[in-house]
Structure formats: C-alpha cells, structure tokens
Amino acid sequence: MNKLTLSAIVGLMLCGCTASNEPQIVENNMADQGNEASLKSLAAQVNLSVGTAFETRHLQDPLFRQKVIEEFSQLTPENEMKFSYVQPQRGQFDFSKADQLVEFALENNMTVKGHALVWHIQNPSWLEDGQWSKEELAEILETHIKTVVSHYKGQVKYWDVVNEAFNDNGGFRETLWYNALGEEYIEMAFRFAHEADPDAILFYNDYSTEGMNAKANGVYRHVKKLLEKGVPIHGVGTQLHLTSDGPISDVSIARNIERLSELGLKTHFTEIDVRLRDGDGESALFDQAKRYEMLMKLAVFYPQVDLYTTWGLTDKYSWVPNWFKGYGRPLLFDENYQPKAAYNAVHQVLEDASAGTFSYQPATDLTLVQRYVQAFDAKALPSGAFDANAVVYYPFAYNQLGVRNQTVPKAENISGKWAVGYHDNQLIGQVLRHDDFTVTNNKQAHENDNVELFIRLGDKFWQFRSIVGQDFAAANFPGEIQGEWSNDGQQFDFVIEFDDYEDLVGETIGFNIALSDNDNTAEDSVRHAQLYPLSGSNIGWQGEEFGELFMNGQNAVVAAVPVALPPTFVAKSLTQKPVDAESSVWQESYHYSLAFNQLDKKDMTVSQDSIAATWSVGHHDNWLYGMVQRQDDITVTSMEESYLNDNVELFFQRGEELMQFRSTVGKDFEKIRYPHQYRAQWSDDGQTLYFAIELDKPIASGEAIGWNIAMSDNDDGKARRYQLYPVPGSNISYLGEELTKLTFE
C-alpha cells in the first residue's frame, strides 16, 4: 500500500489514471505565483517530512532563514554535530553551534536528524593521531555517542549513527574504527546510541546505496545480520549525491526500498543534490528536475520513506563547487533564492499526491538495469602525470578476431596490459606491449600493429588509433589527443583531453581499448589478433560492445545504471552430450580466457609462465556442461581450507538462489545443497577439468543466468597468489555479487 489516502486511491480508480514517465515540470517563471502551498504543508498530507541541511552561519542570511522556515519541516546539521565539532579535545564537549541549530528547529516545529555520530572523516586530530588500543577506542566511542545522544535526548528524533562504513564493492571500509574494533564497532555504536536515548530512531547512512548494487547489497546483508542479533537499528539512509546526466533507475531504487522494508526498516533520502556542469544550459536544468521528481515520486509512493532531505537549500551555499571541480547549481533554489525547475517538479508531485491525482507506480524488474561487468577503474593522478603506482593495470584478455575461440595467443607472440588514470579533464593512460614481430607498413591502417581506444559519451562515440611508433591519427573529437611510443615499441603513453569537462571525477563513460597484431609484412596482409579486455565481436568501431570506465575519487559514485553493456558470455546448444573434456563437440562452443586476477587490486594481469586457463560451457537437454584447460607449474591441494587449494569454482544463479560449486584439482565437486546431479572430473595430470550440472528444467534459447567462473592458484602452500576470473572485480562472487552473465544459444 502506498501513501495515498483511501479517498485518493478511490479517486485514482475513478479517473482511470495511468502512470507516466514524463516529468511534470512547471515553467520557472510561474514558480512564485503558482505554488501557494509550501513543500512542507503538501508533504505533511502524505506523512512525509521534507528537510534540508545547513550550518549556523547560514541563518545569518535573512532570506535563507525565511526560506527554511517557509518550505521545510526537517533539519539536518550539515557539519556541526560531527565528532570534530562537538569533541574537539578529548573529554571536552562543545555543543554551542549544534544547540543553535536544534533550538532554531524546535522553535519552528522542525524535526531534527542528528548527523553523524561515527564517521571516518571530520574527526579531531587528537583522535586521528592517537595510538589507541582496542579497549581505549571502544571507550572513546561509547563516551562520545552516549554524551552526544544524551545531550539531545527528546530533542533529536533521528540519528545517523554510523556514516559511510562500506566500500563501493560492499566490503568494510578500512577506518580507524574498523581497523581497531572490526565490524563490531557498528553494532557497538547502535547499542550505545539506544542506551542513551531509547526513543531515538537510529539509521545507518551511506552514499551510492540507493539502488541494487554491490555496496547496497553489503549494507543490506549487514543490517540484516544486526537485526538478527537484536541490534536496535531502525532504518537506512541513502545520500543521493547525483549528476544531472548520470543514469539512475527508479526500478533499482524501488526494489531496494522494498527489500529493506521486508526487514522492517525505513528508508530515508538523506543528502539529495543533483549537480550540473558549469557550462550546462536549460536542458540540464530539465534533467536535474527529472531526478528530483523521480525521487519525490518514490518518497510519496512508499510509506517506508518518510524523509526527503536536500543537502542544502540554495546554490549560493552548496558544498558541490568546492568538491567537484566544474560542477555546481545542485539544489532546488538558485543563488538568488528563486525556485528552479527542480523545485516545481517536486512541488507538482506533492500537489498531485495531496489532490488524489498521483498515478505513479514503480516497476521492480531489475533485468534491464543490472551491471554484469564491473566498470574499469581510473584513479586520480594529482600530479597530472601517469603514475604506475597509482593506477590499476588490466589485461588484454580476449582475441575478438577469434570469433568462437576468443582466447589469446601465446604470450611470446603478443600480450599486453593497460591502465588509465585522470587529472582534471584529462584521461591519462599507458599500454605495455610485448610482441615478437612488429608490422607498420600495411596499406590498411587498421591492419598494422596498433592500439585503438573507443570512447562513448552519451550517444556520441569516438575511435582513436595509433600505429606503433606514431601519434594518434586525426579524429573529429572535441578535445586534444596525444600518443607517444617508446623507441622499442613496447610502451605507449597517451592523453585524451575533454574540452567539455573541467574535471572527470565521478564520471562513468563508455570505454574499450584494443591491441592489434599482424605478423605478416605483405602490404595486403591481415591481423591475426586484436586483443581487448572484454569479449566481443570486434565492432567497437561501430560504437558497439563498449565496457565502462569509472573516474574514481572522494564521494564519486559509479553510474547507478550502466552507460554501456558489453556482450554476455555464451553457452551454445551442443548437438550432442560431451562425455569428457576431449569430446569433439567442444568445437561448437565458445572458448574464453580466465585472465583477471581479482586478488590483486593494483595489477589484475598474470604471467602465462606461472598460470593460465581457458574455459568453455555449453548445454544439452537440461544439463550445463563445461570444461577448463589449465596450465600451472605448481599444484597445491594439501590445504585444510579447500578454497586455499588450487581449484576451480563456479557461481551459478538461475532465479533467486546462488549456487557455488568448488572442485579442488584432482577431486570431484564438494558436496553442497543442490537438489540435482552435478559432477567434476579432472585429467590425471590436473590440466583439464570436465564438469556437468543438471538443471531443474530445460534451457530456453535466449535465457540468461548470473554466472562466474574462477581458478585459484597457490604456489607456496600458504595462500593463494591468483584467483583468475573472466572479468574484473573484487573476488566477491561467493556473495552473489559482481556476477557476470551467461546467455544460452
């Protein structure tokens, strides 16, 4: 049941209204005349609080003060309740600034949400620089939380107890709290806050957790665990620092709200802003309004969302320009306190809801919005020069000229790796190439040994090519491009400068990169290899089959909806059942590499001299068949924990339940709770694995499942050195995260 009153629902039924995806945006010049009711008065009719965040200094501006009082029913202290403000010296608390905000809120009938008791940023130097034992830090945590919460008992309704405790991959962020206390610090913080004020409503708060992604999944798993232990946690806040041109899905957000609700938890939209590029015009304001509108529609529809808070009131005082170079204007009111299109869109949603004409209903089918290949990571390069120690290297893993056999040639023939970083509006990258023979005299430029880059921004894409020893060929690109080769042709450094950007931080763009090899000196010869980091059919030049590149940085969030989707892996329908890894029917299937070492966050490549593998899967009747070809100079199978042995793991999700199969070299699959038949068979030399898994029903052509496959390598009898996957990631497929996709043909 959504928030509409019964009379409103009846009204909708009588009207026969249907949901619309078009934004209901009022022209900006009608804002003051047309919007007689305030946001807070309209929101109150659907049991929703609309809030904003600010500091005490902002209240010195009379217009600011007036707008807050007129429009908002909730206040979040932007900074002045954080650790460094209220306990600048150990044991010496200063509530003077925060008290002013709480007093202002209560005088104006505003609800207060305290923010934030525990965070890894804005801690005082005495805390950051101290050498604390586990017991000492636990005591500091308890004293701080209980003192602050007790001080505001009965005045602060909600608390953000813990803020930003998770990394983007869903693992715990390494902070002074986590490093000393482990994940238990989160539980401790909630228990301390509840003991200090049993009536306070306690929230976990984080960014990039609005939709169904790895980070949100990590939060979900942990709050579920806390609830099962009886920890007093009442909701999850998602910050929603967005861009006007970044993809975002109400489908994904809606499903996340629903699964948290199934745990009995509320959802708060806690720090909403939608930043624009400095050069953006009216169309960007329209895009900004659509995002504010979509979030308000979700807040109105779901009773579990009872707080919609913007991170500031006016563009005049926004934090965005200081944090995101080249961006600004993220809020509902401009610098002159005039309502923007975003304000009008939000107001219209609330008007419709209060009048009984609200007809929005979100879908929750995630099929079209799931990312099944993780974005490649571009790190910030503060010096403006390429730094091998600051970036992540990725392999050229697939020969897309091989059609069904996309495995790479032998390393001594052609191999390479690449990495990309960024500085301001420049993409700065490097390719390291090993080739035993170089061809640059072919009359067709693309048939020479070369590097190609493919960039997609929105609906536009560009292809850049540099033949070994030469700069990039001219391209019709809005910016500067430059490439330089080493004298031996083994290293290529490049810079791509985007004229339309001041800073690339936080951007997710369509991306691919290729390394071509031709070993025939005839002028009309053709390449035998074009290596990419992704599988595909070599049509990047047509603007297709791109992956994604994410410009990582503080408060940067990968696009909620993929900006590009590469091809899925393919399981062919086999004409007959393969009986082992040597069956001739495997000639019909696709063959892929295991090339990304997800245990190494700095360099995911691997030397073929140490470990290498290829894999293939197909289907026949209701069975999934597969084979792995493995090359390894040392095999370890004696570890007590089986995952530490040399092994192959399969991750398989058809429907809701994830299945993980593991086979140590030389052994069958370990026993798991899978209701059908499954088996694994190794060759005597441990170089080939054949497996078969019975499915619960026949496979339909075109069906796709969640999938991953990994091969582990332990060379010293202590720990794994490699865990090779077909795609980049952070080795969390065992959690059902970062699965890729397998499509049946």
Structure confidence at residue 29 (pLDDT): 36
Most distant CA atoms of the chain, gap in Å: 85
Structure confidence at residue 556 (pLDDT): 84
Structure confidence at residue 641 (pLDDT): 96
Instruction: State yes or no: is 271 an active-site residue.
Output: yes
Distance CA 293, CA 350 (A): 10
pLDDT in tens, 458-495: 878 999 999 999 999 999 999 999 999 999 999 999 99
Distance CA 242, CA 555 (A): 10
Percent of the chain whose pLDDT exceeds 70 = 95
Structure confidence at residue 487 (pLDDT): 97
pLDDT of 105 above 90: yes
pLDDT in tens, 151-199: 999 999 999 999 999 998 889 999 999 999 999 999 999 999 999 999 9
Classify residue 505 by burial, with Cβ atoms within 10 Å: 0-12, 13-18, 19+.
buried
Q: Please, are residues 20 and 359 in contact by the beta-carbon 8 Å criterion?
A: yes
Structure confidence at residue 214 (pLDDT): 85
Strands (E), 288-389: 305-310, 327-328, 376-380
Residue 111 neighbours by CB under 8 Å, 6+ apart: 49, 51, 73, 74, 75, 105, 157, 158
State the pLDDT confidence band at 21, using cuts at 50, 70 and 90.
very low
pLDDT in tens, 63-81: 999 999 999 999 999 999 9
Structure confidence at residue 550 (pLDDT): 97
Distance CA 600, CA 105 (A): 49
What's domain 39-355's architecture? Answer: Alpha-Beta Barrel (3.20)
pLDDT of 735 above 70: yes
pLDDT in tens, 312-362: 999 999 999 999 889 999 999 999 999 999 999 999 999 999 999 999 999
Residue 390 neighbours by CB under 8 Å, 6+ apart: 379, 380, 381, 421
Domain ranges of the chain: 39-355, 376-552, 569-744
pTM of structure = 0.79
Instruction: State yes or no: is 480 an active-site residue.
Output: no
Residue type (1 letter), 603: D
Structure confidence at residue 120 (pLDDT): 97
Higher pLDDT, 542 or 471: 471
* Token code pair at residue 700: 């339909």
* Token code pair at residue 713: 């390598």
Kindly report the three-state secondary structure assignment for every residue of 18-76. CCCCCCCCCCHHHHHHHCCCCHHHHHHCCCCEEEEEECHHHHHCHHHHHHHHHHCCEEE
User: Mean pLDDT lowest for which of 345-349, 560-564, 649-653, 671-675?
Assistant: 560-564
How far, in Å, are 317, 394, 396, 451 from residue 484 at the CA level?
A: 44, 20, 20, 11
Q: SS3 of 575, please?
A: coil
Residue type (1 letter), 5: T
Structure confidence at residue 30 (pLDDT): 34
Structure confidence at residue 4 (pLDDT): 59
Q: Please, are residues 226 and 235 in contact by the beta-carbon 8 Å criterion?
A: no
Percent of the chain whose pLDDT exceeds 90 = 84
Structure confidence at residue 726 (pLDDT): 98
Q: Which of 71, 80, 164, 649 is catalytic?
A: 164
Fold of 569-744: Immunoglobulin-like (2.60.40)
State the pLDDT confidence band at 368, using cuts at 50, 70 and 90.
low
φ, ψ of residue 301 to 5 degrees: the values are -70, -40
pLDDT, average across residues 615-630: 97
Q: Which residues pair with residue 455 across a beta bridge?
A: 462, 511
Q: Which of 71, 187, 210, 271 is catalytic?
A: 271
Residue 249 neighbours by CB under 8 Å, 6+ apart: 211, 369, 560, 561
pLDDT of 524 above 60: yes
pLDDT, average across residues 596-611: 91
Distance CA 403, CA 533 (A): 15
CATH 2.60.40.1190 fits 376-552, yes or no: yes
Structure confidence at residue 465 (pLDDT): 98
* Token code pair at residue 104: 């202002």
Distance CA 596, CA 611 (A): 11
Kindly report the three-state secondary structure assignment for every residue of 495-526. EEEECCCCCCCCCEEEEEEEEEECCCCCCCCC
Q: Please, are residues 564 and 548 in contact by the beta-carbon 8 Å criterion?
A: yes
Do the domains 376-552 and 569-744 sit in the same CATH topology, yes or no?
A: yes
pLDDT of 206 above 60: yes
Q: Please, are residues 531 and 414 in contact by the beta-carbon 8 Å criterion?
A: yes
Q: Which residues pair with residue 23 across a beta bridge?
A: none
Structure confidence at residue 1 (pLDDT): 57
Distance CA 643, CA 410 (A): 29
Q: SS3 of 235, please?
A: strand
pLDDT in tens, 418-429: 999 999 999 999
Structure confidence at residue 61 (pLDDT): 98
Structure confidence at residue 176 (pLDDT): 97
Residue type (1 letter), 295: L
pLDDT of 545 above 60: yes
Structure confidence at residue 31 (pLDDT): 38
Q: Are strands 394-395 and 398-399 parallel, antiparallel or unpaired?
A: unpaired
Distance CA 284, CA 342 (A): 11
Kindly report the three-state secondary structure assignment for every residue of 155-188. CCCEEEEEECCECCCCCECCCHHHHHHCCHHHHH
